[in-house]
């Protein structure tokens, strides 16, 4: 039996993309849920997975433009016609065989994250299904020692495309995502009246709070407390105080938002992505930190969806991750403002008439002057500064 491998739907606004990479070779044997290819569109990069097991035949080369629904490969089943009769099994084998039953999305996700094959896990669920708890328990068990191969043959690394001797240039076509990023950045500069205002923040209090509670926080939640969650919470408080920044222009209409979905810029190999954290005004700090960690991980793994990138009212970007001291970020249309974080450096500052050394960060707010006046922009930035320098205000909602 033959199965078609098609480019899956990615959203109403996406009709095509670039098949950037094959994860398998022509003639390979594949298994269900095994990643087959990487698809780049002007909005997201995602993976296509096998829906059946068998030998794959590739019909499209890497780098080709493909349409949604196009057949890019076929999988020829190696098991022949599927029989509805199940072979008798010894009682001792009954549990492992039951793991071949359909698995839930949570089990599939854990399989990709841990490398544990659900087919090799004894299921404790109904009808022998493998549960999330079964997978977590299997992941904690040490893997059995594999026999040492007599003739190891490591997979060769992917070839590095380097210019030929004497070449002065290398040319390659821009990816759809990079083209879209360029288009949106130029559009933002042409259509909005951009202005940037700056301030600096003393990070001493936040750093001391993190250092004091980090170990206990990690034990309880399983991930570290970063700086970004403090800034997300501070931005929500500032948007409430300066609602003009939580608005946008649609034609000749001013639209005022009354919700707080905050975008957090994430740098990936394919370009900058801005997954959106929903309803940040209702989330506690641990929930915000978890949402940031999950969104950033999925963006870098190419597992982000179009829905994850839509609907944000404000964006935060952290150039300090790469050592940036100061910058003027560009807004993410149709939003009216963006906050830029930067590197934390020890600098001399005046405190109570004394010169002291403090860990300082420059912050920048770029805003659309058509909507936001200078007074409102400065008020917003000062509010963020106050919240970060006195993080107890974040917990008390002040």
Whether 23 sits among the annotated catalytic residues: the reply is: no
Beta-bridged to residue 268, according to DSSP, are: 271
Task: Identify the bridge partners of residue 355 per DSSP, sorted by sequence position.
Answer: 350
- The residue from 134, 190, 252, 373 that is catalytic is 373
Distance, CA of 213 to CA of 234 (rounded, Å): 19
Burial of 343 (0-12, 13-18, 19+ CB in 10 A): middle
For residue 99, what is the DSSP state? Answer: T
Here the contacts of 144-148 (C-beta below 8 Å, separation 24 or greater) are none
Length of the chain: 398
| Selected catalytic residue, list 23, 42, 202, 369 | 369
Report CA torsion sign: 276, 281, 285, 290.
Answer: negative
Q: Is 373 a catalytic residue?
A: yes
What are the residues facing 21 on neighbouring strands? 38
Which of 68, 77, 54 shows the shortest CA–CA distance to 15?
68
Q: 359-389 burial, b if ≥16 CB within 10 A, otherwise e?
A: ebbbbbbbbbeebbeeebbeebbebbbebbe
Reduce the DSSP state of residue 346 to 3 states and report it.
strand
**Contact yes or no for 74/2 (Cβ under 8 A):** yes
> What beta strand segments (E) does 28-125 contain?
29-30, 35-40, 45-49, 54-58, 65-67, 71-76
Q: 241 in helix, strand or coil?
A: helix
Q: How far apart are CA 114 and CA 163, in angstroms?
A: 38
Residues classed as catalytic:
369, 373
């Amino acid at each position: 039996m033959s199965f078609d491998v098609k480019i899956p739907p990615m959203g109403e606004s996406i009709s095509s993309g670039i098949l950037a990479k094959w994860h398998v070779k022509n003639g390979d044997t594949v298994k269900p849920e095994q990643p087959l290819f990487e698809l780049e569109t002007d909005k997201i990069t995602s993976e296509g997975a096998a829906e059946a097991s068998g030998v794959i035949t590739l019909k499209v080369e890497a780098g080709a433009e493909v349409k949604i629904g196009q057949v890019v490969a076929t999988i020829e089943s190696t098991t022949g016609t599927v029989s509805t009769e199940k072979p008798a099994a010894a009682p001792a084998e009954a549990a492992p065989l039951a793991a071949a039953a359909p698995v839930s999305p949570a089990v599939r996700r854990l399989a990709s994250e841990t490398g544990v094959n659900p087919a090799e896990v004894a299921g404790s669920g109904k009808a022998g299904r493998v549960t999330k708890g079964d997978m977590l328990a299997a992941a904690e068990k040490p893997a059995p020692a594999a026999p040492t191969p007599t003739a190891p043959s490591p997979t060769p690394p992917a070839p590095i495309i380097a210019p030929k001797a004497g070449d002065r240039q290398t040319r390659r076509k821009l990816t759809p995502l990079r083209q879209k990023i360029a288009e949106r950045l130029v559009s933002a500069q042409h259509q909005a009246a951009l202005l940037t205002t700056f301030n600096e923040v003393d990070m001493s209090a936040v750093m001391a709070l993190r250092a004091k509670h980090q170990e206990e926080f990690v034990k309880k939640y399983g991930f570290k407390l970063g700086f970004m969650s403090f800034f997300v919470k501070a931005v929500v408080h500032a948007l409430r105080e300066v609602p003009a920044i939580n608005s946008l222009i649609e034609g000749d209409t001013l639209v005022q938002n009354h919700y707080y979905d905050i975008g957090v810029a994430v740098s990936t190999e394919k370009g900058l992505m801005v997954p959106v954290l929903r309803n940040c005004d209702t989330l506690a700090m641990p929930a915000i930190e978890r949402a940031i960690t999950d969104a950033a991980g999925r963006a870098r793994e190419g597992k982000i969806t179009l829905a994850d990138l839509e609907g944000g009212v404000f964006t935060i970007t952290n150039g300090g991750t790469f050592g940036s001291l100061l910058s003027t970020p560009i807004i993410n249309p149709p939003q009216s403002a963006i906050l830029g974080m930067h590197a934390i450096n020890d600098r001399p500052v005046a405190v109570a008439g004394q010169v002291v050394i403090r860990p300082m960060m420059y912050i920048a707010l770029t805003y659309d002057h058509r909507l936001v006046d200078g007074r409102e922009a400065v008020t917003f930035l000062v509010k963020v500064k106050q919240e970060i320098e006195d993080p107890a205000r974040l917990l008390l909602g002040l």
